[in-house]
Amino acid sequence: MAYLVSIAVRAQRDLISLYEDINAKEAAAALRCYQGLKLAILSLKEHPNRCPATPESKQIRQLLHGHKPHVYRVIYRVLEKKKRVDILHIRYGVQRKVKMRNVL
């Protein structure tokens, strides 16, 4: 059964910021990278538990997307009873660990 993928306001801001930072409006390669990330996020509707838990919390999972040095970290939680995946935050992979109280 497919899960509903819900993108939190913070994660939406992260996506907008990423789009602007990589200049996806002007560069075709950057646009493909951005679109690939969005497709990876939407792929969580099937088998969202395939990704590992984050080092910060066992209840939160992370999807890593991209190739070094351009790896993006999608932080999300799976709500089994509601069959929903909440995308909480999207970070550039080399950023410091996220504080869970700032995400939830």
List pLDDT tens digits, range 5-55.
999 999 999 999 988 888 878 888 888 888 999 999 999 999 999 999 998
Query: Which of 51, 58, 104 shows the shortest CA–CA distance to 73?
Result: 51
Written in H, E and C, the secondary structure of the chain is CCCEEEECHHHHHHHHHHHHHCCCCCCHHHHHHHHHHHHHHHHHHCCHHHCCECCCCCCCEEEEEEECCEEEEEEEEEECCCCEEEEEEEEECCCCCCCHHHHC
| pTM of the complete model | 0.84
DSSP classification of residue 53? B
Task: Give the number of domains in the chain.
Answer: 1
**Element containing residue 9 per DSSP (H, E):** helix 9-21
Specify the CATH number for the domain of residue 84.
3.30.2310.20
* Residue bearing the bigger pLDDT, 59 or 94: 59
Please provide the average confidence, as pLDDT, over all residues in the chain. 88
Q: Please, what is the angle between helix 9-21 and helix 28-42, to 10°?
A: 160
Q: Which domain holds residue 39?
A: 4-103
